[in-house]
Amino acid sequence: MRWLLPLGLALAPLAAGASTPAPTFSKDVAPIFFRHCAGCHRPGEIAPMSLLDYQSARPWAKAIRESVAAGRMPPWFADPRYGRFSNDARLSPQEIATIKAWVDGGAPEGDRRHLPPAPESGDGWKLGPPDIVIDIGRDFRVQPGQDAYEHFVAPTNFTEGKWIRAAEIKPGNRRVVHHVHVSMVRDEGEAGSTSIEAMTDLTRFMIREGTLTRVRADAPVVNDACAPDTPPLPYLRGAQEGALASFLPGRQPDVFPPGTAKYIPPGTKFEFVVHYARIEEEGQTDRTAVGLYLAPGPPARVLRRMDLRNFFFQIPPGAERHAVRRCYDFERDQLLLSFTPHMHFRGKDVTYELVHPDGRREILLAVPDYHFDWQLVYRLREPVLARKGSRLEVTTHYDNSVNNRANPDPRATVRWGDKSEEEMMSNWIEWLEPEPQPAPGNASVR
């Protein structure tokens, strides 16, 4: 669609020169900002400035023109040749033309009476006020000086099971909270079961330093876990059940498609895993929470998440395009809904390709230019049926060369680790049963 842009460019001055008045903020531009930008560009959110009102937006007019024309804003990294996505963040050529014409026309405010109502802030909840809020249970003090992964277990006190249609994690303190996962556990003893320490078959390959874990330098190396001779190391095959909800920079909250829901059994406890980024100044206090949005009743289908990871890759110093692969062989029919790739600073690109049982290959998502700053979810507009006997091939590349400006150290041999300076290869995939199932009133937790 990008090739349409020059056309918009050519038309905009014409339109401005003709009888059509130049676009104004109040009438033409605010609706675009409210819809496509305000989720991040509002007070208390991740972007540096608010685009909710004219006074705040006006000084940024030139930068806005440039960033939308270049396709940098809103952030979206899917290769447009593959897949259609329901949360595609890109502006339409008309919207881009309107913004350009507005800036070129002097970025006027226009008549305030035309201003649409600003999107509700919902007290910091993007999805509006939740039905139920559960937090980490205490004010946690974050000490300066290093990254930390902290675990908190909080009871839901649910005496009956609940179906939820969405879950939104709200960081208590954005200055320190980098990302958060919330998982369901049955009891305190199971806490940590979603974390690396609990993957006991992995422990012998891991080193722990404080709250951080990394793979030992002398652990076996498997870059291509799709190869037929892949050794039987933990978690290189199959999949693990994923978290209930996740918060990552730029990622939209977990909203489940209509007709689907996730189930929270009675007595469930929530385990929060919070990555606190390193702060240099004085300590900070955090109290992160998850908001739950109840579904009207049992859904036709239960939403699930499976996580595919490779813990055993090794990226050589200076490598420009080091490939790491992980495959999943479908043992039953599954409807695929979304993908969230996760790598760190050296992540360069990722491709999800489905090999159908008849050998036909289909690229479901390609992200040719991955950025650690943006951890987006890509939701397929139409679910893709992966039949029993098909294989999902995930191929990622890492840039450990000096050309990668985000690279903390091109001389390092890089392996899996929690720290941003180490690497990960994680893929979360939401899926559904192809046929509606009887509601699992007594569904097990994981």
Residues binding ligand HEC (CB under 6 A) = 36-37, 39-41, 46-48, 60, 63-64, 66-68, 72-75, 91, 250
Q: The sheet that has 426-432: what strands, in order across it?
A: 240-241, 304-309, 426-432, 334-342, 378-386
Least separation in angstroms between CB 84 and ligand HEC: 19
Q: Considering beta carbons, is residue 9 or 61 the nearer one to ligand HEC? A: 61
Least separation in angstroms between CB 174 and ligand HEC: 11
Q: Considering beta carbons, is residue 36 or 214 the nearer one to ligand HEC? A: 36
Buried b (16+ CB within 10 A) or exposed e, 359-395: eeeeebbbbeebbeeebbbbbbeebbebeeebbbbbb
Give the rounded distance of the alpha carbon of 390 from its chain centre. Answer: 26
Q: Considering beta carbons, is residue 126 or 275 the nearer one to ligand HEC? A: 126
Least separation in angstroms between CB 105 and ligand HEC: 16
Q: Considering beta carbons, is residue 39 or 130 the nearer one to ligand HEC? A: 39
DSSP 280-330: -SS-EEE--EEEEEE-SS--SEE-EEEEEE-----BPTT-SSEEEEEEEE-
Q: Considering beta carbons, is residue 49 or 233 the nearer one to ligand HEC? A: 49
Identify the CA nearest to 307 among candidates 214, 242, 400, 212. Answer: 242
Specify the residue for token string 């050296």: 346
Asked if the bond preceding 48 is cis, omega within 30° of 0, the reply is no
Least separation in angstroms between CB 295 and ligand HEC: 26
Q: Considering beta carbons, is residue 40 or 303 the nearer one to ligand HEC? A: 40
Instruction: Please give the Cα distance from 222 to 233 (Å, whole number).
Output: 9
Least separation in angstroms between CB 44 and ligand HEC: 13
Least separation in angstroms between CB 55 and ligand HEC: 16
Least separation in angstroms between CB 373 and ligand HEC: 6
Element (H, E) at 365: strand 361-367
Q: Considering beta carbons, is residue 158 or 372 the nearer one to ligand HEC? A: 372
Least separation in angstroms between CB 41 and ligand HEC: 6
Specify the residue for token string 């059509």: 20
Q: Is residue 221 within 8 Å of residue 205, measured between CB atoms?
A: no
Q: Considering beta carbons, is residue 40 or 364 the nearer one to ligand HEC? A: 40
Q: Considering beta carbons, is residue 103 or 365 the nearer one to ligand HEC? A: 103
Specify the residue for token string 């930008």: 37
Least separation in angstroms between CB 104 and ligand HEC: 15
Residue 335's contacts (CB-CB under 8 Å, 6 or more residues apart) are 383, 384, 385, 386, 431, 432, 433, 434
Q: Considering beta carbons, is residue 38 or 354 the nearer one to ligand HEC? A: 38
Specify the residue for token string 């240099």: 280
Specify the residue for token string 């007594």: 442
Instruction: Please give the Cα distance from 354 to 362 (Å, whole number).
Output: 5
Q: Considering beta carbons, is residue 68 or 191 the nearer one to ligand HEC? A: 68
Least separation in angstroms between CB 198 and ligand HEC: 32
Least separation in angstroms between CB 47 and ligand HEC: 4
N residues, the chain: 446
Instruction: Please give the Cα distance from 124 to 134 (Å, whole number).
Output: 15
Dihedral pair phi/psi, residue 20, rounded to 5°: -60, 125
Q: Considering beta carbons, is residue 46 or 207 the nearer one to ligand HEC? A: 46
Instruction: Please give the Cα distance from 76 to 159 (Å, whole number).
Output: 41
Instruction: Please give the Cα distance from 10 to 17 (Å, whole number).
Output: 12
Least separation in angstroms between CB 205 and ligand HEC: 35
Tell me the helix, strand and coil percentages in the chain, rounded to 5. Answer: 15, 30, 50
Instruction: Please give the Cα distance from 422 to 219 (Å, whole number).
Output: 15
